[in-house]
Amino acid sequence: MKSKTISSIFILFGVLMLFSCKEEVQEELSEKIERVSIDEIEEGIKKFIADQTEKNGGVFPIKDENHDLKMKLVRVHTEYLSRLGPKSHFACVDLVDESGDVYDVDFFMEGDPGSMGVTATSVHKFNGKPYYSWKQNKEDKTWFKVAMAESNNRLLGVIEGGDEFTFYYSAQVPTLEGPAKMWIPISETDDFQQVELVSKKVPAGTREIREENYGNKLLFMELGPENSGEEITLAYHVKRKEKGPYNAHEPDVSLYLGSTKLMPTGGQFEQIAKETLGVKINDTHLIQARALYDYVIDNMKYAKVGDYGNGDSYYACDSKTGNCTEFHSLFISLARSVGIPSRFAIGASIPSDRDEGGIDGYHCWAEFYADGKWWPVDISEANKYTALATYYFGRHPANRIELSRGRDLKMTPSPEAGPINFLAYPYLEIDGKQVKVNSKFTFSRKNEL
């Protein structure tokens, strides 16, 4: 660890890039200074961790004023890798300790390409819960740490009221040696989001189709070798309102009480739900939903390890870990098993603490029906930020965009493999098998909130 002076300099300049992804300060640097690419920063941090892990018997040590940890690398957040200035760089890294707890650690690095060294580390989050956040000084534009006790909901990811931004969806067609098909969700306007598709770049012959059960709008593409490497881009201007409980007609029970391939009902889910509810089994669906919501918060751990990200209720129930898909799939299986209509939706959560840059993948959530209303919940976020558990039972922040609803999506033309589990990223099928597509989400906030 360097001296406090060096650490202060890093904090002063560093997280400017982390939270804004702007490069205005770089324009003032001499063109003679060798610039380090994002790939080189990522490679540098991985090499440093690998070297230290080898030296320390297979674990990476992390020490700061509150921690003495033995860790293993989970991932480097490439969306947050930043150049801070000449020979100074920042990386945000997920590490897991021997017990399986995940820590988000801020790394500050110094040096030339190929010879960068870590000068300071700071444990930022524990299982998604932050120890501190960052705030910008409006006068001199520098950044400083803010203890979570002093933070407001915005620093915990929540924008209340309304938000406005441009959302960029991009994907690259991989190398194709024969025919392929691709499906991409199209975000649409509803009572809580006003969406305008302001630009798009798609392959010739692309056409719009409708998903059959939930009405999702999709782009369907028939591709060939001539499309290899082609960039697909969509840009949306979005005005979004904070979402609370809203009136609705009785839902279609065949959709919202039934099983799907990875969200089954009955069996062990009915047993767990009834055991959780106890005497509340005779209460209202609203009271029951809150009990099941609390059960998932108390029994699940947000951890991107293992076979996560499929929204498999059995996996969530057995492993008690996962990301937002597991949290909400388990909740829906439990709720439906005791007669509470519930549904799944997916899109992206827009960062609240900066106004442009990368988005760390998709985010999903759920709604349940009670007292003549759909009630939004976000259980994985409530698990991360327990201070907001009450907020997330009945609220979704304004800073998000919804791309599609439902599970086991059926459409014509349909994938040979059958209904699509859920749809946020492009679904590419080659010879009847799903193939991963390199895709990313970015944004730019147009209003000053």
Q: What is the mean pLDDT of the chain?
A: 85
For residue range 366-413, what is the model confidence (pLDDT) as tens digits? 999 998 999 999 999 999 988 888 899 999 999 999 999 999 999 999
Q: Which of 151, 174, 207 is the last residue of a domain?
A: 151
Residues 268, 396: one domain? yes
> What does the pLDDT read at residue 58?
85
Q: Is the peptide bond before 413 cis (omega within 30 degrees of 0)?
A: yes
> What does the pLDDT read at residue 80?
63
> What does the pLDDT read at residue 127?
56
Which has the closest alpha carbon to 234: 413, 38, 54, 425?
A: 425
Residue 326: pLDDT above 90?
Answer: yes
394 and 357 in contact (C-beta within 8 Å)? no
Cα 199 to the center of its chain, rounded Å: 24
Give the pLDDT band of residue 446 (cuts 50, 70, 90): low
Q: How many domains does the chain have?
A: 3
> What does the pLDDT read at residue 74?
64
Q: How many CB atoms lie within 10 A of CB 284?
A: 12
E strand or H helix that includes residue 407: none
Residues 120, 26: one domain? yes
Residues 226, 326: one domain? no
**Domain, as residue range, for 320:** 246-405
Give the pLDDT band of residue 84 (cuts 50, 70, 90): low
For residue range 38-80, what is the model confidence (pLDDT) as tens digits? 677 777 777 888 888 889 988 888 876 677 888 877 667 666 6
> What does the pLDDT read at residue 390?
86
Question: What are the beta bridge partners of residue 239?
Answer: 164, 194
299: domain CATH number?
Answer: 3.10.620.30
Q: Say if 420 falls within a structural domain.
A: no
Q: What single letter denotes the amino acid at residue 387?
A: A
Pairwise CA distance, residues 328 & 296, whole Å? 9
E strand or H helix that includes residue 247: strand 246-247
Pairwise CA distance, residues 149 & 164, whole Å? 28
Residues 252, 238: one domain? no
Which has the closest alpha carbon to 178: 444, 438, 449, 432?
A: 432
Residues 238, 253: one domain? no
Site of tokens 């047993």? 271
